[in-house]
Copies of this chain bind each other. A is one copy, B any other.
Amino acid sequence: MQISPKRKAELRDSFSRQTIMATFGAELVELDKGHVVIEAPISPGALQQHGFAHAGLTFTLGDSAAGYAAMTWIPEGQDVMTVEMKINLIAPAKGDMLRATGEVVRPGRRLLVVRSVVTAVENGRETDVALLQGTMIPA
């Protein structure tokens, strides 16, 4: 399915105003109806104590991919907020970069149920590192 060029521009603009994305060097690499991909390097300033990506980076990307996926389902000019998000961390987030893919599982009018998977890419090999499931609300 398609999203309108106007909505696409709105969402890219919204993303560019999330300053945490620039801090992490994150980019919005896919933006389709109910499907969004965000990538960021595992950079020197985003690590936990063993040198892997911090769960905070993993969460930030997974939550945002899910949030923008939800925003592709709601009318122009409107936004969403995260109501709640559950993350299961299933492998150490090591490698060159993280890729978060967000999807809308249930695009309700009052609430949208979303999921993300975050993978770590190391030497071109991709490993699932986290699964997120949560709820967004139009705001």
A105 interfacial contact with B, CB 8 Å: yes
Chain A, interface residues (CB within 8 Å), range: 35 or more
A88 interfacial contact with B, CB 8 Å: yes
A57 interfacial contact with B, CB 8 Å: yes
Q: What does the 1/0 interface line of A1-35 toward B look like (CB < 8 Å)? A: 00000000000001101111011000000000000
Q: What does the 1/0 interface line of A72-85 toward B look like (CB < 8 Å)? A: 00000001011111
Question: Which residues of A approach B to under 8 Å, CB–CB?
Answer: 14-15, 17-20, 22-23, 44-50, 54-57, 59-61, 63-64, 79, 81-91, 105-106, 108, 110-111, 113, 115, 128, 131, 133-135, 137
18 residue pairs of the A-B complex, CB under 8 angstroms, read A17-B49, A18-B47, A19-B46, A20-B54, A22-B45, A23-B23, A23-B45, A55-B85, A59-B60, A83-B89, A84-B88, A85-B87, A88-B106, A88-B134, A105-B131, A111-B137, A113-B131, A131-B133
